[in-house]
Amino acid sequence: MKETFKDVRDGKDAAVETRPAPAPPAPAALAAKVRTLAPTMTRSMQRVAETVASDPAGCAALTVTGLAERTGTSEATVVRTSRLLGYPGYRDLRLALAALAAQQAAGGAPAVTADIAVDDSLVDVVAKLAQEEQQCLADTAAALDVTQLEAAVAALAGARRIDVYGIGASNLVGQDLAQKLLRIGLIAHAHADPHLAVTNAVQMRTGDVALAITHSGRTTDVIEPLRVAFDHGATTIAITGRPDGEIASYADHILTTSTARESELRPAAMSSRTSQLLVVDCLFIGVAQRTYETAAPALSASYEALAHRHSPRNHQR
């Protein structure tokens, strides 16, 4: 169970490196974190998390016992929830809560995001979608673990070869990343076919990088190739919305994407894609910075190469 899972990961980390940074507690990304982790939580923990997220100021004034009473749970559950949210204990969650409350008070309007309904006008749809995606970006940026990002960037920048795994919508994100990396001279390939992906993953070894993208963290077709690459000594990176999912067991570096509530009309795929793309962009820029000497000329070269694919400009007025 938990022990097993934890031990596996720890063992791996110990073997590979010394776990760069467990998880710097989130300052303002609390709401995002609550959403991301909500599925993992038990009922009472969800109650605590939700209470905390909906009224940071109020909760900051409460002691463990107080919050336990207010949520109708026990102190133990409150502490457990705090841990799950990434804090060493309730004390620190409480501090973060106070900070969050202050920020909210200062920032003013929190954000009104009503679900998109079937009978919304298109004007509303546009507004709500834009709003939700903006929120999603903000959440992702706030929750992104820069240490992990740094490590991932370093791995990519120095990789002999990069394989990207993703299925469905995540595959498109993977292709986006691969396209970008190719442009700056890296050898990257996005796999769409799970079988081919596994077949190729066997070739991976130390110095190669395998990157898997899956929102659920449980997509077998994506986990398999990453596992194979991991077993063959490649450095592995996972971009997932569930940092505690199975895929985490085979990832050296985990980049967490945020999750928005999904509604009937707006499948989770939409916000996860937005979130994933931001992460991918960050990776790309990071790598481009680190390989600037070669990246810059490569970028302009690719522009040149495309020029003749465009009709002459005389059409514009």
**Residues in contact with its own copies, total (CB under 8 A)?**
88
Nearer to DNA, 80 or 227 (CB): 80
Tokens for 241? 């919305």
Contact assessment for residue 260 and residue 268, using Cβ atoms and an 8 Å cutoff? yes
| H helix or E strand, kind and range, residue 229 | helix 220-231
How far does the chain reach from its first CA to its final CA, in angstroms? Answer: 67
**Tokens of residue 147, six digits:** 């240490």
Contacts of its own copies in 199-258 (CB under 8 A): 216, 218-221, 223, 242, 244-246, 249
Give which of its own copies, DNA, none residue 267 binds (C-beta under 5 to 8 Å, depending on kind): its own copies
Which residue from 14, 16, 146, 202 is in contact with its own copies, where contact means CB under 8 A?
146
Q: Which of residues 62-101 bind DNA (CB under 7 A)?
A: 63-65, 72-80, 82-83, 88-92, 94
* Stretch touching its own copies by CB under 8 A, among 44-52, 65-73, 89-97, 231-239: 89-97
Hey, what amino acid is at 189? H
- 234 in Cβ contact with 221 (< 8 Å): no
Euclidean distance between CA atoms 143 and 24, whole angstroms: 10
Tokens of 109: 């309007």
Please report how close the Cβ of residue 205 comes to its own copies at its closest, in angstroms.
Answer: 26
Return the one option of its own copies, DNA, none that residue 43 interacts with (CB less than 5 to 8 A, by type): DNA
- Please list every residue from 15 through 44 that binds DNA, using CB under 7 A: 42-44
Q: Give backbone dihedrals phi and psi of 165, rounded to 5 degrees, phi first.
A: -115, 135
The binding site for DNA (CB under 7 A) comprises: 1, 42-45, 63-65, 72-80, 82-83, 88-92, 94, 317
